[in-house]
Amino acid sequence: MSLNLAQAKTTAQVLTTALPYIQRFEDKIIVVKYGGNAMTDPELESSFARDVVLLKTVGLHPVVVHGGGPQVDNLLKELGRESDRIDGMRVTTKSTMDVVEMVLGGSVNKSIVSLINKHGGRAIGLTGKDANLIRAKKLLMTKTDEQGNSSDIDLGFVGEVVSVNKDVIMMLIGSNFIPVIAPIGVDNEGNSYNINADLVAGKVAEFLHAEKLMLLTNIKGVMNKEGNVVTGLTPKKVAEMIEDGTISGGMIPKIQCALDAVLGGVKSAVIVDGRVPNATLLEIFTNEGVGTLISRDLDSALS
Ligand SMILES: Nc1ncnc2c1ncn2[C@@H]1O[C@H](COP(=O)(O)OP(=O)(O)O)[C@@H](O)[C@H]1O
Ligand SMILES: CC(=O)N[C@@H](CCC(=O)OP(=O)(O)O)C(=O)O
């Protein structure tokens, strides 16, 4: 079935064309990761917020996990500071962590919450510290050089997800709220950790047994060396593409978490071009999709 939601002018038209898909996804959890690079155009931001509200209105359960790396960079720059990235991860000192918490848990989280609410939703903003939503521990990174020697890299207060408090999210969903989660975790001592938002989205999707994980970004999908979107990826192929440099930077944690999520039980994960108007709706309510799909049944889905 082929739909053109982009041409649907009214909510009623959208609902009519999307009905079979609505029925298929009804009552299912869709985790949408909204990357900082996708938050650059006010029109697209509104389109994203409208899509999320519409999903909730028709009976799906969107859960938003957001990034905001470029927004953190901007404030650091204004403060005359910089931070390095290693394989897409920001090296986070204690004082960088303060800025990260201020931007991700503060301005970015609240602007997404108000935009969704402005479009009629009931968004509620959380960081992983609220009700210990995201338990984290320090991320240990090991790098191997060309001679095969490994060394540990200290990324500071960069964390990985240990667990997600599913009950809190289910309670919010059940009360008709749309959770909007900033990628900050907390350990048993109350220390904050900066976690790559893709990794948080993947783990949230896994703990919630989500139907779909949608990673919105600023590129059409995963590209090969020729610049074409790759339509099927296996763990082996991904490892090769990272090894030969075809996949680099922020795409490394993104593709890794998409793979981990589907292997961990999420039905499908998709890397979606957030620059396309109504990207979220098009992905769910059409057969074409708008990015790189990775589904649980890797062999058959990706052949
Ligand atoms: N093979 C690849 N295919 C697509 N994008 C890639 C690839 N390798 C590296 N990238 C980079 O990864 C970026 C997406 O990651 P990132 O900037 O972290 O996005 P976001 O902020 O949306 O999480 C792309 O804009 C692109 O520059
Ligand atoms: C450890 C680490 O790198 N954390 C990220 C968290 C934000 C993020 O992931 O934002 P995007 O999704 O917009 O890239 C950072 O500090 O930039």
pLDDT at 88: 84
On the CB side of 136, CA atoms within 13 Å amount to 29
Question: Ligand 1, residues 251, 256, 272, 275: which to mutate, most atoms within 8 A of Cβ?
Answer: 251
100 lines ligand 2 (CB under 6 A): yes
Give the relative orientation of helices 166-174 and 197-208 as an angle to the nearest 10 degrees: 80
Ligand 2 centroid to Cα of residue 228, in Å, is: 25
pLDDT at 6: 56
90 lines ligand 2 (CB under 6 A): yes
Secondary structure class of 43 (helix, strand, coil): helix
254 lines ligand 1 (CB under 6 A): yes
Ligand 2 centroid to Cα of residue 197, in Å, is: 6
Going from the C-alpha of 158 to that of each of 40, 197, 202, 222, the distances in angstroms are: 25, 11, 16, 25
CATH 3.40.1160.10 assigned to domain 12-301? The reply is yes
Quote the ipTM score. 0.94
Q: Which residues contact 196 (CB under 8 A, 6 or more apart)?
A: 67, 88, 89, 158, 183, 253, 257
Instruction: For the chain, 303 residues long, give each residue's pLDDT as a single digit of tens.
Output: 344 555 666 767 766 777 877 777 888 999 999 999 888 889 999 999 999 999 999 899 999 999 999 999 999 999 999 999 998 899 999 999 999 999 999 999 999 999 999 999 999 999 999 999 999 999 998 888 888 888 899 999 999 999 999 999 999 999 999 999 999 999 999 999 999 999 999 999 999 999 999 999 889 899 999 999 987 777 778 888 989 999 998 888 889 889 899 899 998 899 988 888 888 888 887 766 667 887 765 544 443
Ligand nearest to the CA of 226: 1
pTM to 2 decimal places: 0.90
Which atom of ligand 1 is nearest the CA belonging to 36?
Answer: 21
Sign of CA dihedral 105, 106, 111, 116: positive
Count CB-CB contacts under 10 A for residue 51. Answer: 25
- Please tell me the distance from the alpha carbon of residue 157 to that of residue 203, in angstroms, as a whole number: 19
Q: Is 36 annotated as a binding residue?
A: no
Residues 211 and 25: beta-carbon distance below 8 Å: yes
Residues 203 and 195: beta-carbon distance below 8 Å: no
pLDDT at 231: 73
194 lines ligand 2 (CB under 6 A): yes
Show the tokens assigned to 207.
């703990």
The sheet with strand 291-295 has its strands ordered as: 123-127, 178-182, 61-66, 29-34, 212-217, 268-273, 291-295
Furthest CA-CA distance within the chain: 62
Q: Whose CA is nearest to atom 6 of ligand 2?
A: 196
Facing residues of 176 across strands?
none
pLDDT at 3: 44
- Please tell me the distance from the alpha carbon of residue 231 to that of residue 154, in angstroms, as a whole number: 35
Specify burial of residue 33 (Cβ count, 10 A radius: 0-12, 13-18, 19+).
Answer: buried
pLDDT at 300: 44
Domain ranges of the chain: 12-301
Question: Ligand 1, residues 87, 217, 222, 230: which to mutate, most atoms within 8 A of Cβ?
Answer: 217
Q: Name the one residue in this structure whose structure tokens are 């900033």.
A: 182
pLDDT at 139: 95
Q: Is 275 annotated as a binding residue?
A: no
Sign of CA dihedral 81, 84, 85, 90: negative
Q: Is 105 annotated as a binding residue?
A: no
Ligand 2 centroid to Cα of residue 204, in Å, is: 16
- Please tell me the distance from the alpha carbon of residue 3 to that of residue 160, in angstroms, as a whole number: 39
Q: Is 69 annotated as a binding residue?
A: yes
- Please tell me the distance from the alpha carbon of residue 155 to that of residue 159, in angstroms, as a whole number: 9
